[in-house]
With several copies, the nearest count.
Chain A
């Protein structure tokens, strides 16, 4: 019994270390100087930890003698992510609710059809998407990016919410009908509040996907409203120029900071939400 506990904690600690060490390595690298990186080992601790690289990353890439700072890009990202999140989760949860209803015919069929969307690499259909967005007059605007996120987030959010609403007791749905609440009012007053735990999960995951997106931001956003991942790419993605790994790492971590914070703060919500039925088949 005692041995088992010891082994259990050893395993957990090992796993935690394995999961954490890559991130710690990034952190330590971002605190080194370039010379240290060129000459030392990846696993050495920084001799004199310095946030110089972080400062440089925050200033952003200077191109053609112009520096534009990451701050603005963060704002752009937020301007993209928040409405995208709101819309794609709204659409996903409403769709999920409708598909969970037993009186909706072909619901399973439509659900399967939507699930296929989960498997389409968005790059593959980029051209028609551009044409569509252009036709809607949204190309080169934040609206275009948001639309793309809503489209490509649909399958995922629908999956989450449909599974949750399926687990709502049938009696509850009946009670709602007897009380005279139609689809929308039942959604708004009853189902939406009930699905809050799943919302948390959907928001967290969708936030991660949206925040980390590079392709849509690059393709559909206006020049001055591009998300922070584009700025990050400009910092780290240069192919033929010289590389500053410490800055790269700092910038990478800086960019990932919001999502990391979200996970740090909401791990409990996440598990509870999943337990609430977000992903029960």
Chain B
């Protein structure tokens, strides 16, 4: 029972229940990312684990110890906040050493440990500055140092990178990941940025409205989302969805929409009954431009292209009639940056049937 275990955790404010009956087992050494839209209860859950908010029900154990009734500082955790929450009047040195001082650690020991942590994070030259004199990235590092120095068995991060600019965020991501590898401690990390989640997590917990939607390895969450919410929340640009019914196109399973047929070559034919309603989901990069139309392709009209540098995203509309305007649902596909795509010139597309997702339109649950 090492690691962190949440057992039927419930948290309500007054009559509003934010988190209800949540179970979660986090193993030691995991880098678990809580991912979800704003307001879904991620911070609330993290605060509950930290002991900053009393639970309304359930229990939490950390490293086999029931900590439900303990104060934050007794839970063997450390926390890093979105706003860094550095103590503005203390020097970096004292910021990092504060928790140790509060535990009565000897002066010399504090000094040594702070030194070690500062070395690790390469902030030794900043130790005598005040937080106000640091850049965002440096502040972030100090905040991490403050957590590190306590050598807790669990680190909690609440959107630690969201105040940084894109470039710095990318760098810090790598640093955090290296840090995790070096220390091997459990990390619970809250974010609503799915790139962060994908790149860092050993497991991702996707939450919505206080409930766990899916909890799995990043590739699985990305590749085989458990339900439509997860599918649409993870991935940018988001997954394309098409409502239709099961049908056939040649040898392949296909989805029939009002506008036409979308063949799904490579998909297991036994999956659904013909005529059964289904939501087809596929990611932009799982559609390829086909050389020529055939029974495995579907035609779409490019509306707008977004070159991002390495790639280009093209917004299209299904257009079986090749009107050049399109009538069907919109979709986005990813093509190489130098792909020759002309606006309003319909092109044949081929979906990769092995990588698509099918959802039950009623329940939203994954079918394949």
Contact = CB atoms under 8 A, between A and B. Distances in A.
Direct A–B contact present (CB less than 8 angstroms): yes
A175 B52 CA distance: 9
Contact of A179 (B47, B73, B83, B89): B73
Contacts of A179: 73, 98-99, 102, 146, 150
B164 interface: no
Nearest to A194: B89
B184 interface: no
Contacts of B72: 174, 177-178, 180
A190 B82 CA distance: 19
Interface string A137-178: 000000000000000000000000000000001011011111
Nearest to B101: A189
A128 interface: no
A185 interface: yes
Given A178-B77, A181-B102, A194 B47 contact: no
Contacts of A189: 87, 90, 98, 101
B85 A175 contact: yes
Nearest to B84: A171
Nearest to B152: A178
A178 B50 contact: yes
B103 interface: yes
A194 B88 contact: yes
B99 A180 contact: yes
A272 to B, nearest CB: 14
Nearest to B52: A174
Contacts, number: 68
A194 B88 CA distance: 7
A174 B102 contact: no
A193 interface: yes
A169 B50 CA distance: 18
Given A179-B146, A180-B72, A180-B73, A172 B85 contact: yes
Interface string B181-210: 000000000000000000000000000000
Contact of A185 (B52, B102, B146): B102
A273 B17 CA distance: 33
Nearest to B74: A180
B79 interface: yes
Interface string B220-247: 0000000000000000000000000000
A181 B98 contact: yes
Please indicate which of the listed interface residues A175, A180, A189, A190 has the most CB atoms of chain B within 10 Å of its own CB. Answer: A175
Given A171-B83, A172-B85, A180 B52 contact: no
A254 B99 CA distance: 50
A174 B99 contact: no
A178 B78 contact: yes
A66 B50 CA distance: 71
B313 interface: no
Contacts of B85: 169, 171-172, 174-175
A247 to B, nearest CB: 48
B83 A169 contact: yes
B100 to A, nearest CB: 9
A171 B71 contact: no
A190 B94 CA distance: 11
A193 to B, nearest CB: 4
Contact of A171 (B74, B81, B89, B103): B81
B71 A177 contact: yes
Nearest to B77: A178
Please indicate which of the listed interface residues A176, A177, A179, A181 has the most CB atoms of chain B within 10 Å of its own CB. Answer: A179
A194 B101 CA distance: 19
A171 B82 contact: yes
Contacts of B79: 174-175, 178
Contacts of B150: 179
A194 B90 CA distance: 9
A177 B52 contact: yes
A190 to B, nearest CB: 5
A171 B156 CA distance: 13
Contacts of A171: 81-85
Contacts of B98: 179, 181, 189-190
Contacts of A190: 87, 89-90, 98
Contacts of A178: 50, 52, 72-73, 77-79, 99
- Give the 9 A-B residue pairs with the shortest CB-CB distance, closest first: A180-B73, A193-B89, A179-B99, A171-B85, A175-B85, A171-B81, A180-B102, A178-B72, A172-B85
6 contacts: A169-B83, A171-B81, A172-B87, A174-B79, A175-B85, A193-B90
